[in-house]
A and B are shown apart, each in its own frame.
Chain A
Amino acid sequence: MLSRVAESVYWMARYLERAEDTARLISVNSHLLLDFPKATRLGWSSLVTITSSDEVFDKYYTERDEESVLSFFCGDRRYSGSIVSSLAAARENLRTTRDVMPQRIWEEVNQLFLAISHQVEAGITPRNRDAFLNRVIRSCETVNGMIEGTLSYTQVRTFLQLGRSIERADMTTRIIDVRSENLLPRTPEEMTPFETLQWVSVLKSLTGFQMYRQHVRLRVRGPDVLRFLLQDVRFPRAVACTLTQVCAELSQLPGHVRALAAAQNCLAHITSADIPLLSSEPDQLHQYIDQLQIDFLDLHDAVVDTWFTLLHEKEIVAQLAQTQTQN
């Protein structure tokens, strides 16, 4: 498989996952706010912080109100992380890799992008918001289904899974990070009756509520949710589960030593997390997640260096010439 194509496939998967996770995030936030019309602290502003997009947001908007945040995340082409930008980037990457991807995947992503661009131009309102977000999530799920059902187990699939899993792990930790900052009690007195509902929203933004109930079988509590989202190995959006998948994918690729070590390092950090401490100390949790994101970056760099840029190519070409002359 061509390195350039592998890179495009990898990014295509990342962008598609980003679009889906962003849609989930907005969807759950919207529902939560409907239950707490006056809970301004939870407000739309936290979405901006979750995605580390404060700087670009503040450049173009003055108010962090529903309308601004929605149009920023759904349809703003100036923000590279918006749903429409992510889909545009996914489609661009897919366009250069159409020859290796099942035709129907292209058709689905192409159609989704065209439909979304159209809707965004018409404007996202509270009334059509749900339909819009569901369209995005459902299409992304459809694509994942097509990958599952029609894409052979080749390197194309490996790089798709890698991109998707790394992005998913990243998005999950972001969601935990800022949600937790809002949710963890600074002092016991600050505990609010909303706590349970807020943790439920974290789970729901990852479509993890149902699975959590089945696995944990207790009332929703901070430490349990944190343990579930970081360390569970059965729930596909839990960080440990996605990283286990990353390790399995990596070990199938040639020359995987460095990247696999980086992935195992991430996984070790997850499994060794001191959950009781992290769930009671917001600052510790924040630092911990910062460290995790640095680990993810190392993993990403290892993938890029090993398979996309072929760091040691010149030496290889020279060696080839030598072996040829020896023969």
Chain B
Amino acid sequence: MSKVNWQNYACNGFYDELLAGPGQPRDVSRMLCEYLAQLDARELADHKTAVDVAIQMMGITFTVYTEGSMIDRAWPFDIVPRIIPLDEWQRTSAGLKQRVQALNMFIDDLYHDQKIVKDGVFPAEVLAQSVNFRPQCVGITPPHRVWAHICGSDLVRDKDGTLYVLEDNLRVPSGVSYMLENRNVTKRVLPELFATGRIQPVDDYTDQLYDMLASMSPRPGDDPQIVVLTPGIYNSAYFEHSYLAQQMGVELVEGSDLVVGEDDCVYMRTVDGLQRVDVIYRRIDDMFLDPEAFNPDSMLGVPGLMRAWRSGKVALANAPGAGVADDKVVYAFVPEIIRYYLDQEPLLPNVPSYLCMFEDDRKYVLDNLDKLVVKPANESGGYGMLIGPHSTKKERKIFADLINANPRNYMAQPTLSLSTAPTLCDEGMEPRHVDLRPFILSGGQSTYVTMGGLTRVAMTKGSLVVNSSQGGGSKDTWIVDTKRG
């Protein structure tokens, strides 16, 4: 590993988060870039080792499913933080709040009067084919009429520096624990840089989450019994489930720990006998939540849970059925959804999207498969996608057939020139593509957006795939107040 020389850092025509060009750190990142440049090769290598040791010692892991077995891997982390100026972040937060507020109104409308469909803003056939619409939820009004209490939206920056929303994750978005732990690791390794007081803290997330969950309790006034429901130790996000329960001081439960009584209340099995549960932060997908209501073969869920939720004896976050708005085809309608419910212009732009269900769009997509990214409506984790410029002729043929067979299930977007950030690789300091996942909490009274979020980085040169299940890494994200100090 050699000493960092920013003069040799090639941006290759992409927008770089830290540098405007070779040898030109941006205002927000000048301090960091200078710090890194004055380290000699040995010190730099020592920093990298310190990170690896900290991560291993803190036991920050994620689980991957590879070749038929589960492996617990150390969390891949890059030492160089990604930096965003505070004023830009404040504008972005406002846009995210607006977006999630509209999405919650949209979900609530779909399960009640469906005004947006009747008014012709949202096509009935999209709704009819949504695999995440749950008829079991029709007519239910959750506390505060909020369905997606915890949302993780993915943001990407294009060549011109504009931040776009790439998708909204409204089912069981994960990553926030890594955001918090990344900060803890950076504090251990780069303590000098925090001394200026310009880096905004991130660690009130779990307090905010607790307060939001507590506000949903069906027994107000009492000390609510909150639990985190996990599919178990072999889930890829188990670390996070456990981490959040620990940070909030609540029980981490599995389906088998809960039982629904004849009285429709949910109880957990404890050493003191059965104890009533008020709020469940569930990290199990809808279909596995309750074998009585959904997948009867589910071993993960709790029989009768939907019955308890419907009768208002327990609150669920996120509400079952919230995923109806977490759909890459619905995504294309979000700007319209914002205008419809809030009568406002969207503050954050969507990536231009082509819906294969519309004939013109479909024709354009099929003619330009080699230039576009094609996504299925309901997959997450980067699976089942076609990345046009990197695809083979055979792959494009397969996708053309898939699209023609089920046009509603596919949408396409132009390949964005994802921004890069300097990343410490074996070859030295190199640009790697990044995205950003902030988390938005929606309670009855207030909406909270994390200070920054989880920056994911594609560790392989030239790669755009940032998912940790597919070799992605992560960075600490600094929101820096340039006006202070």
Contact = CB atoms under 8 A, between A and B. Distances in A.
Given A98-B246, A110-B57, A4 B261 contact: no
A54 B263 CA distance: 54
B252 A317 contact: no
Contacts of A316: 273-274
Chain B CB within 10 Å — which of A3, A92, A110, A313 has the most? Answer: A3
B271 A313 contact: no
A105 to B, nearest CB: 11
Contacts of B254: 4
A197 interface: no
A325 B262 CA distance: 10
Interface string A109-130: 0110010000000000000000
A317 B274 contact: yes
A324 interface: yes
Chain B CB within 10 Å — which of A159, A254, A307, A317 has the most? Answer: A317
A208 B245 CA distance: 41
A65 interface: no
Interface string B104-148: 000000000000000000000000000000000000000000000
Contact of A99 (B252, B256, B257, B261): B252
A98 to B, nearest CB: 5
A96 interface: yes
A96 B239 CA distance: 9
A98 B56 CA distance: 15
Contacts of B210: none
Interface string A140-179: 0000000000000001000100000000000000000000
A327 B34 CA distance: 70
B268 interface: yes
Contacts of A34: none
Interface in B232-247: 233, 242-243, 245-246
Interface residues of A, number: 33
A218 interface: no
Contact of A320 (B58, B59, B261): B261
A320 B262 contact: yes
A209 interface: no
A111 B56 CA distance: 8
Given A3-B271, A95-B233, A318 B57 contact: no
B233 A99 contact: no
A1 B271 contact: yes
Chain A CB within 10 Å — which of B253, B254, B269 has the most? Answer: B269
B270 interface: yes
B271 A254 contact: yes
B192 interface: no
Contact of A3 (B262, B263, B269): B269
A92 B233 CA distance: 9
Q: What band does the interface of chain B fall in when counting residues whose beta carbon is under 8 Å from A? A: 20 to 34
Contact of B57 (A96, A107, A325): A107
Contacts of B246: 98-100, 103
Contacts of A5: 251-252
B59 A310 contact: no
B267 interface: yes
A171 B253 CA distance: 33
Chain A CB within 10 Å — which of B57, B263, B268, B270 has the most? Answer: B270
Instruction: Give the secondary structure class of A's interface.
Output: helix
B233 A253 contact: no
Chain B CB within 10 Å — which of A2, A107, A255 has the most? Answer: A2
Interface string B157-183: 000000000000000000000000000
A2 B251 contact: yes
Given A99-B246, A254-B273, A317-B274, A324 B59 contact: no
Contact of B263 (A1, A100, A324): A324
A15 B452 CA distance: 42
Given A4-B254, A111-B57, A313-B259, A99 B242 contact: yes
B59 A2 contact: no
B343 interface: no
B269 A313 contact: yes
Contacts of B270: 1-3
Contacts of A310: 269, 273
A317 B251 contact: no
A320 B261 CA distance: 8
A96 B271 contact: no
A318 to B, nearest CB: 7
A99 B251 CA distance: 8
A99 B59 CA distance: 13
Interface string A284-327: 00000000000000000000000100100100111011001100
A159 B270 CA distance: 13
A132 interface: no
A281 B42 CA distance: 68
Contacts of B242: 95-96, 98-99
A4 B257 contact: yes
A309 B53 CA distance: 39
B222 interface: no
Contacts of A99: 242-243, 245-246, 251-252
A79 interface: no
Contacts of B257: 2-4
B272 interface: yes
A302 to B, nearest CB: 14
B85 to A, nearest CB: 33
Interface of B: 56-59, 233, 242-243, 245-246, 251-254, 256-257, 259, 261-263, 265, 267-274
Given A4-B254, A321-B263, 10 more contacts: A2-B251, A3-B269, A6-B271, A99-B242, A99-B243, A310-B273, A316-B273, A316-B274, A320-B263, A324-B263
Interface of A: 1-6, 92, 95-96, 98-100, 103, 106-107, 110-111, 114, 155, 159, 253-255, 307, 310, 313, 316-318, 320-321, 324-325
Closest 6 CB pairs of A and B: A321-B262, A99-B246, A99-B245, A324-B263, A99-B252, A3-B269
21 contacts: A2-B257, A2-B268, A2-B269, A3-B271, A4-B254, A4-B257, A92-B233, A95-B233, A99-B243, A100-B246, A110-B56, A253-B271, A254-B271, A307-B271, A317-B261, A317-B267, A320-B262, A320-B267, A321-B261, A321-B263, A325-B263
